[in-house]
Amino acid sequence: MRALHLLRLLAIPRVGPLKVQALVRHFGDPAEAFRATPRELVRIPGIDERIAVAIAHDTAAEQFANDQMSRAARVGVTVLTAWDDDYPERLKRIYDPPPVLFARGNCTSARGHAVAIVGTRHPSAYGEGIARRLSSELCARDFSVVSGLARGIDTFAHHAALEAGGITIAVIGSGLDVPYPPENRTLMERIAETGIVFSEFPLGTPPDPQNFPRRNRIISGLSLGTVVIESAIDGGAMITASTALDQNREVFAVPGHMDDPRSAGPHLLIQQGRAKLIRGIDDILVECGATVAPAPPPVPVSVSLFEQRVLDVLDGAPKFIDSIAETCDLSPGDLLVHLLSLEFKGLVRQLPGKHFVRT
């Protein structure tokens, strides 16, 4: 019943996480707040007369809370409170943890070591490759990967974690029954099968822009550190980096191309000394100070002489098929055969417009 009364308090206008914390500290049981008189309520720090009267004479918030609990039960959503054992322990230690979290998936999956990977919604092929690589390697070391289910870097990080057989955690800025972006609904369902999806927003909440900065503090709060891969200076990933610093968590930045505006955010973080430049997974593991499993030995993949010639031409930057054929001195038809074989072996990835990169 604690979840019901906390939802009721949060539905009162101008009552947020910090005021709820003050009320629970004072009364112990949030239900007692609704039995108190306005005169008693105004003695609590942060509770003014208008809020006190709204709490004491509430009816609409009670109906809202009852409706949320019923809807959650119907759609298979768990309502966690900051006083529950299944509530993520690391998140409890931030300044303003959400008193209530809506969760879909395996609640125990949020108990292990976790690192957040965030970045632009419009990454380069380089940014996508780095997000996939770091996510896969973190999962190989028994870390969970946290991100925001957004387009771009977030999506690639989640997918790579799932493909690696690891745990990934998504935090969204809308109700759990209103996935955003809508094309990631299937991805959200896949995450919930082995990991978990969180939101502090009630069911039915649309993805309003003001929700996402609040969402970002949960992403960083769940994590030992946050990795920023490609972001404009005013991008949402930079907000996540700021909340991580406020929470005394590690921040890492991936350097990029000097002239690419998507590198401006990470480069500024590094320049200001607010983030640690990382060159690979070991830089993250050392700073997080966690005891982790050693990396599994790589599985050798055999390639032919011609396939090796193609691999030697490719790197993390996309290359057009005609340019590859000319450099390798191969006909387009022969080159396509070798590229297809390398794709099957997981060594090459095709991008739109007949561009290819080495993975």
Residues 186-242 have pLDDT tens digits of 999 999 999 999 999 999 999 999 999 999 999 999 999 999 999 999 999 999 999
Using CA atoms, how far apart are residues 126 and 319, in angstroms rounded to an integer? 12
Closest CA to 222 of 137, 146, 142, 291: 146
Report the Cα 98 to chain-centroid distance in Å.
16
Which domain range does residue 337 map to? 305-358
102 in any annotated domain: no
Q: What is the mean pLDDT of residues 283-288?
A: 89
Q: Which tops the pLDDT comparison, 162 or 306?
A: 162
Residue that has been written with the tokens 């609640």 in this structure: 107
243 in any annotated domain: yes
Total domains in the chain come to 3
Q: Please report, for the domain that includes residue 313, its CATH number.
A: 1.10.10.10
Confidence of residue 359 (pLDDT cuts 50, 70, 90): confident
pLDDT at 154 over 90: yes
Same domain? For 204 and 351 the reply is: no
The pTM score is 0.83
Provide the pairing of β-strand 196-199 with 168-171.
parallel
Cβ neighbour number for residue 146 with a 10 Å cutoff? 32
Same domain? For 124 and 32 the reply is: no
Cβ neighbour number for residue 178 with a 10 Å cutoff? 17
Same domain? For 332 and 284 the reply is: no
Is the separation of the CB atoms in 134 and 284 below 8 Å? yes
pLDDT at 342 over 60: yes
Instruction: Name the least confident of 70-84, 153-167, 199-213, 301-315.
Output: 301-315
Mean pLDDT of the chain: 92
Same domain? For 51 and 183 the reply is: no
Q: Please report, for the domain that includes residue 254, its CATH number.
A: 3.40.50.450
> Which residues fall within 8 angstroms of residue 282, CB to CB, at 6 or more apart?
none
